[in-house]
Chain A
Amino acid sequence: MELSESVQKGFQMLADPGSFDSNAFTLLLRAAFQSLLDAQADEAVLDHPDLKHIDPVVLKYCHAAAATYILEAGKHRADKSTLSAYLEDCKFDRERTELFCTEYQNNKNSLETLLGSIGRSLPHITDVSWRLEYQIKTNQLHKMYRPAYLVTLNVQNTDSQSYPEISFSCSMEQLQDLVGKLKDASKSLERATQL
C-alpha cells in the first residue's frame, strides 16, 4: 500500500493523546467510517460538541488522513497484522490500535461492497418482461393467425444511471432458441462452480 506523507502526519496527530483524547479519537474514527459508508452522511459529521475544542483544520486533516487510509486498506484487503504494523509505525498505542482494528472489522463488509461497486461495466440486465400475442390481421395481410412474443429486457447503465430498455419480438421457435441458450449458460455456470 502506498500512502502519502500527509496520511502519516495525520495519523501521528491522531496518536497524540494531547491533541485527541480517547473520546475525541473514537468520535473522529467513527466519523471517518460514517462519511465513507453512509450514503446519507451529514456534511456536519465532524460537528460533534465533543470535538469543538480541537482546531478545525487539524480535525479536517486527520479526518482526511483516516478516510484515505481506510479506503486504501479496503482496496488491498489488508489484514489485522498489516493494519497494526502501520498504526504502530505512526506511534499509536495499543488501545488505539485495537480500537481502529475493531472499527475496521465491523465495517469491512460494507467497505468492500462499496469499493466493488465502483467501476464501469457493460449495461446490466436487471429484469425481463414478456407479452404473448396472437396476430390476426394487418392492413397488408388478413387472416394471419400467428402467435408472437414481445420481450423487454430492463437494463441498467452503471455510469449514466439511465434505464434504457431493449425490446424485441420473436416467434415461439425463436424464444425456444433464446431460452435454450440461456439455459446452456446457466448450466455452464453451475458446472464451473463445482470445479
Chain B
Amino acid sequence: MLLELSEEHKEHLAFLPQVDSAGQGARGRRSVGWGGGPKAEPGTQQPLNFIAVVAEFGRIAVEFLRRGANPKIYEGAARKLNVSSDTVQHGVEGLTYLLTESSKLMISELDFQDSVFVLGFSEELNKLLLQLYLDNRKEIRTILSGLAPSLPSYHNLEWRLDVQLASRSLRQQIKPAVTIKLHLNQNGDHDTKVLQTDPATLLHLVQQLEQALEEMKTNHCRRVVRNIK
C-alpha cells in the first residue's frame, strides 16, 4: 500500500533536500545540529552537515510527537539555515505526518521507499527517511494507540477479608464479606472504587472470569487470531 501525499505535503517536504544547499550557505558557521556539535573538518563538512541536519529534523519530528511543538527550536533552526521559521515548521510537520501515516498503516519497507520516491529526493535522503521510519515506528505506534477512545482500564486490585460482628440493628452476627479496592486508569487519571462482596458472589466472579480467560484458548478464537492479519 502506498502513502498518498498531497501537494501541500510534498511542498513542505521539498524543504528537506534544500537543506543541502542551505547547509552550504551556513558552512561558514560552526554548529552541526542545534545546541552545538563536534567541529567539522572543512573537507568533509558538506555531506556531514546534510545528514546531520536531516537527522536533526527527524529527531525534532519525533520529539514533536512525544511532547508537542517547541517554537524556540524552530526559530533556532531557521536562523542557522537562513530560512524562514515557517518553512522549518512546515518541514517538521511534513516529516511528522510522513512518519505517523507510515506507522499507522504499518507499511512495508518497499512501500515506504516507493511512496517517498515520488518526492524526487536523492538516494541518500530516501535511505535516511527509511531508517528514520524503521527506527521510530514502534514508538510512534505506541503513542498513536493512546489516542483511541477508551474506557477506564484495569490497573490493580486490593482485597481484604472482613467479618461483621454486630450492627446497630442486630447484635452477635457473623457475616463474612470481602472488601475490594479496584484501581482504574482513564486517560492518565487514577480512579479507585471501594466495593464489597459476599463469599458466594466472590466464587461466582472467579468462575465467570476464568471462563472468560478460557475463551481465548478455544478453537474459534485461535482461528480468528490466526486468520485475521
The answer on a CB contact under 8 Å between A185 and B148 is: no
The answer on a CB contact under 8 Å between B213 and A138 is: no
The answer on a CB contact under 8 Å between A141 and B171 is: no
| A144 CA / B106 CA spacing, docked (Å) | 9
B83 at the interface (CB under 8 A from A): no
Chain A residue with Cβ nearest B209: A179
Within 8 A of A (CB), among B133-187: 141, 144-145, 147-154, 156-157, 159, 161, 167-173, 175-180, 182, 184
Q: Which residues from A are CB-within-8-Å of B221?
A: 132, 134, 147
The answer on a CB contact under 8 Å between A115 and B206 is: no
Report the count of interface residues on B (CB-CB < 8 A): 58
- Residue of B148, B177, B202 near A138 (CB, 8 A) is B148
The answer on a CB contact under 8 Å between B229 and A145 is: yes
- Give chain A nearest CB distance to B180 CB in angstroms: 7
Chain B residue with Cβ nearest A119: B167
CB 8 Å contact bits of A156-193 with B (1 = contact, 0 = none): 00000000001111101011111101111110110010
Taking A141-B144, A150-B151, A168-B184 as given, write out 5 further A-B residue pairs in contact, using a Cβ cutoff of 8 Å, ordered by the A residue number.
A121-B177, A129-B208, A130-B212, A170-B153, A185-B159
**A interface, CB within 8 angstroms of B:** 74-77, 112, 115-116, 118-119, 121-130, 132, 134, 136, 138, 140-145, 147, 149-151, 153, 155, 166-170, 172, 174-179, 181-186, 188-189, 192
- Nearest first, the 4 closest Cβ-Cβ pairs linking A and B are A170-B154, A115-B170, A122-B196, A125-B197
